[in-house]
Amino acid sequence: MSKTTKPDPIVKKSIDTIRTLAMDAVQAANSGHPGAPMGMAPAAYTLWQEFLNFDPQDPLWPNRDRFVLSAGHASMLLYSLLHLTGVRAVDAEGAIRELPAVSLDEIKRFRQLDSRTPGHPEYGQTSGVETTTGPLAQGLANSVGMAMAGRWLGEYFNRPGFTLFDFNVYALAGDGCMMEGLSSEAASLAGHLRLSNLCWLYDSNRITIEGATSLAFSEDVPARFRSYGWNVLSVADANDLAALRRAFRAFAQTDDRPTLIVIASHIGYGAPRKQDSESAHGEPLGEEEIRLAKRNYNWPEDARFLVPPEVPAHFAEGIGRRGGERRAAWSSLLKEYGAAFPELAASLMRMERGQLPEDWDRDLPSFPADDKGMASRVSSGLVLNELAKNIPWLLGGSADLSPSTKTRLAFPGAGDFAAGDYSGRNIHFGVREHAMAAILNGMALAKVRPYGSTFLVFSDYCRPAIRLSAIMKIPVIYVFSHDSIAVGEDGPTHQPVEHLASLRAIPGLIVLRPADANEVTAAWRVAMQLRRQPVALILSRQNLPTFDRTKTGPASGVARGAYVLADAEDGQPRVLLLASGSEVALCLAAYRELQAENIAARVVSMPSWELFEQQPRKYRESVLLPGVTARVSVEQASTMGWDRYVGPSGRSIGMDSFGASAPLAALQEKFGFTPARVVRVVKDLLAEIS
C-alpha to C-alpha distance for 311 and 13, rounded to whole angstroms: 7
DSSP 41-105: HHHHHHIIIII----TT-TT-TTPPEEEESSGGGHHHHHHHHHHTTPEEE-TTS-EEEEESS-HH
Task: Please give the Cα distance from 130 to 606 (Å, whole number).
Answer: 36
Mean pLDDT, all residues of the chain: 94
Give the number of other CB atoms < 10 A from CB of residue 648. Answer: 6
Rounded CA separation 46/267 (Å): 18
pLDDT in tens, 430-472: 999 999 999 999 999 999 999 999 999 999 999 999 999 999 9
Span 236-289, pLDDT tens digits: 999 999 999 999 999 999 999 999 999 998 754 444 444 333 334 457 889 989
Judged against a pLDDT cut of 80, whether residue 680 lies above it is answered with yes
* 522 or 270: which leads in pLDDT: 522
Q: Which residues contact 160 (CB under 8 A, 6 or more apart)?
A: none
Residues 6+ apart with CB under 8 A from 689: 629, 630, 649
Q: Amino acid identity, residue 155?
A: E
Phi and psi based region of residue 380 (left: phi greater than 0; alpha: psi -120 to 50; beta: remaining): alpha
How much is the pLDDT for 279? 38
Q: Which amino acid is at 517?
A: A
What is the spatial distance between Cα 633 and Cα 378, in angstroms, rounded to a whole number? 26
Evaluate the CA torsion angle 624, 628, 629, 634 in order and state its sign.
Answer: negative
Give the pLDDT confidence of 282-327 residue by residue, as tens digits: 578 899 899 999 999 999 999 999 999 999 999 999 999 999 999 9
Cβ neighbors of 310 (< 8 A, separation 6 or more) are: 10, 13
In angstroms, the CA 231 to CA 222 distance is: 9
C-alpha span between 77 and 466 (Å, rounded) = 26
CATH number at 370-545: 3.40.50.970
Given 122, 130, 433, 610, which residue is catalytic? 433
406: left (phi over 0), alpha (psi -120 to 50) or beta: left
Mean pLDDT computed over 330-341: 98
> At 411, which amino acid appears?
F
Going by the DSSP 8-state scheme, the letter that residue 323 receives in this structure is: H
Q: Using the predicted structure, report yes or no on whether residue 6 has a pLDDT greater than 70.
A: yes
SS3 string, 504-515, reads HCCCCCEEECCC
Q: Write the pLDDT tens digit of every residue in 80-123.
A: 999 999 999 999 888 899 999 999 999 999 999 999 999 999 99
pLDDT score for 282: 59
Angle at 319 between CA 318 and CA 324, to 5 degrees: 110
Return d(Cα 365, Cα 516) in angstroms, integer. 13
Distance between CA atoms of 501 and 520, rounded to whole angstroms?
20
Query: At the topology level of CATH, where does 9-327 sit?
Result: Rossmann fold (3.40.50)
**What pLDDT, on the 0 to 100 scale, is given for residue 277?**
36
Q: Are 537 and 607 in contact (CB under 8 A)?
A: no
* pLDDT of 210: 80
- Name the residue type at position 120: H
Q: Report residue 207's pLDDT band, with 50, 70 and 90 as the boundaries.
A: confident
Please check the confidence at residue 3 and state whether its pLDDT lies above 50: no
The alpha carbons of the chain give a radius of gyration, in whole angstroms, of 28
The type of residue at 614 is Q
Closest among 54, 182, 394 to 190, alpha carbons compared: 182
Which residues sit opposite 283 in a β-bridge? none
What is the pLDDT averaged over residues 655-666? 93
Rounded to the nearest angstrom, the gap between the alpha carbon of residue 190 and the centroid of all alpha carbons in its chain is: 17
Please answer whether residues 375 and 544 qualify as being in contact, where contact means their C-beta atoms are separated by less than 8 angstroms.
Answer: yes
Angle value at C-alpha 65, between 63 and 66, nearest 5 degrees:
115
The CA distance from 106 to 118, in Å, is 10
- DSSP state letter for 542: S
Tens-digit pLDDT profile for residues 29-85: 999 888 899 999 999 999 999 999 999 999 999 999 999 999 999 999 999 999 999
Distance of CA 189 to the CA centre of its chain: 17
CATH assignment of 561-689, given 3.30.930.10, 3.40.309.10, 3.20.20.70, 3.40.50.920? 3.40.50.920
**What percent of the chain shows pLDDT beyond 90?**
91
Fold match between domain 370-545 and domain 561-689:
yes
Report the alpha-carbon angle 413-418-421, nearest 5: 60
**Catalytic residue flag (residue 122):** no
The domain spans of the chain are 9-327, 370-545, 561-689
225, 189 in Cβ contact below 8 A?
no
